[in-house]
Chains A and B, each alone.
Chain A
């Protein structure tokens, strides 16, 4: 399954067998990651809501779609090797 375009009628590979608790935990970790790029994330009704600081928002159903929308809202690539991000996560 494609990590970027989602999974078309199937669960995303990273979310197989997820319960609500896992999704909330994932949203919290995503929120910490994306705060480095000026975005926030919350779990909402089986989806994720991604917001920027200017009122922009997107509702996505899985991780694959989340990165596409987060990148669009941030207006730049979101690199997991970004030294600033790693410093934030390690703080």
Chain B
């Protein structure tokens, strides 16, 4: 059985370590190993997590997303070796905390594409913390939100309710697939964060997005298709889209009606694509295909016209 990995990302000072520390204090999460990525020479966050030092690995002096992807894979393999050799206690899951300035995409890619890591680990979910007081902080912060399955709005006790509401609307427009939880002092039920990629699928919009003003250059568009989607055509379309516009397509997540009893769950973070999963049933009564694409440089109408043309070419008439 593969060990689930939880990736926790979020901008500097947005409360990642507080969240992880509080989660690890829960008895049900005691069997968790933690990998912390720190910039600089002194791994402060590492020391905050010393309660689990024995199973905490510090990747020092570099950003895990751009310089240490090999190290991340090495550390994950090393954890397994040490566990199997009895050098560290058994663990049932791994939490990877990124640096605050990390683009999580290459980390996701490492977890999905390394020659060995995917045989032993499965990327369960991506959690992004967002500072409830200061909101999104630059392009990396936006990428972190786009990659997330769940958003954690930290410091809600310090933020004005009105600005917190506005931030929630901003996040909804940026990533409508991810629920946003208001969490003070890291106090959240773990099952709300650690539910795997198949939770909250009913959040996927069932109506096409309406083009309009966006707070960010990056925004989400929602495609809804009434007819069955040809899987071969979809695979060609998405791989071509990611090759041509990969830098501008931050996230694709959706449910496809490919003619089976349940939908096919598609989930990718830029070029990193989770293996598609056939679900037993739809999350609600609406059985139409729905796809959220987060990025820039395209409209929902353009994407939908293109996908329809590919599917139409596969099933003429």
B-binding residues in A (CB < 8 A): 1-5, 7-10, 13-16, 22, 25-26, 29-30, 32-33, 63-64, 66-68, 71, 77-81, 85-86, 89-90
A57: shortest Cβ distance to chain B, in Å? 19
In the complex, whether B208 has a CB less than 8 A from a CB of chain A is: no
Query: For residue A9, which residue of chain B has the nearest CB?
Result: B115
Query: For residue A26, which residue of chain B has the nearest CB?
Result: B232
Option from B109, B303, B314 in Cβ contact (under 8 Å) with A2: B109
Once bound together, how far apart are the Cα atoms of A10 and B242, in whole Å?
Answer: 19
Query: For residue A13, which residue of chain B has the nearest CB?
Result: B273
Q: Is the CB of A4 within 8 A of B232?
A: no
Question: 9 A-B pairs, CB-CB below 8 angstroms?
Answer: A14-B234, A26-B235, A33-B240, A63-B235, A63-B236, A67-B244, A80-B310, A81-B241, A81-B298
Q: What interface size band does chain B fall in?
A: 35 or more
B277: shortest Cβ distance to chain A, in Å? 11
In the complex, whether B233 has a CB less than 8 A from a CB of chain A is: yes
Once bound together, how far apart are the Cα atoms of A26 and B306, in whole Å?
Answer: 17
In the complex, whether B271 has a CB less than 8 A from a CB of chain A is: yes
Option from A3, A15, A26, A85 in Cβ contact (under 8 Å) with B243: A3
User: Which 9 A-B residue pairs are closest in the complex by CB-CB distance?
Assistant: A14-B235, A67-B243, A89-B309, A89-B313, A86-B309, A80-B240, A79-B244, A2-B113, A63-B239
Once bound together, how far apart are the Cα atoms of A79 and B297, in whole Å?
Answer: 12
Option from A4, A16, A79 in Cβ contact (under 8 Å) with B275: A16
Q: Is the CB of A90 within 8 A of B309?
A: yes
Q: Mark B229-257, 1 if CB is under 8 A from A, else 0.
A: 00111111111111111100000000000
Q: Is the CB of B237 within 8 A of A80?
A: yes
With contacts A3-B243, A9-B115, A81-B241 known, what are 4 further pairs, Cβ within 8 A? A3-B273, A4-B271, A67-B243, A81-B298
In the complex, whether B281 has a CB less than 8 A from a CB of chain A is: no
A-binding residues in B (CB < 8 A): 109, 112-115, 118, 231-246, 268, 271-276, 298, 302-303, 305-306, 309-310, 312-314
Pick the most buried of A2, A15, A64, A71: most chain B CB atoms within 10 A of its CB: A2
A85 cross-chain contacts in B, Cβ below 8 A: 309
Query: For residue B302, which residue of chain A has the nearest CB?
Result: A81
A7 cross-chain contacts in B, Cβ below 8 A: 113
Once bound together, how far apart are the Cα atoms of A71 and B242, in whole Å?
Answer: 13
B228: shortest Cβ distance to chain A, in Å? 15
Q: Is the CB of A29 within 8 A of B243?
A: no
Given known pairs A3-B242, A89-B313, A90-B312, the reply for A13 and B275 (CB within 8 Å) is: yes
B109 cross-chain contacts in A, Cβ below 8 A: 2
B291: shortest Cβ distance to chain A, in Å? 14
A6: shortest Cβ distance to chain B, in Å? 9
B241 cross-chain contacts in A, Cβ below 8 A: 80-81
Option from A4, A86, A89 in Cβ contact (under 8 Å) with B242: A4
Given known pairs A1-B112, A16-B275, A81-B298, the reply for A64 and B309 (CB within 8 Å) is: no
Once bound together, how far apart are the Cα atoms of A24 and B267, in whole Å?
Answer: 26
Query: For residue A77, which residue of chain B has the nearest CB?
Result: B244
Option from B244, B246, B275, B305 in Cβ contact (under 8 Å) with A86: B305
Option from A5, A26, A68 in Cβ contact (under 8 Å) with B236: A26
A25 cross-chain contacts in B, Cβ below 8 A: 232, 314
Once bound together, how far apart are the Cα atoms of A58 and B244, in whole Å?
Answer: 19
B303 cross-chain contacts in A, Cβ below 8 A: 81
Query: For residue A32, which residue of chain B has the nearest CB?
Result: B313
Once bound together, how far apart are the Cα atoms of A3 and B234, in whole Å?
Answer: 13
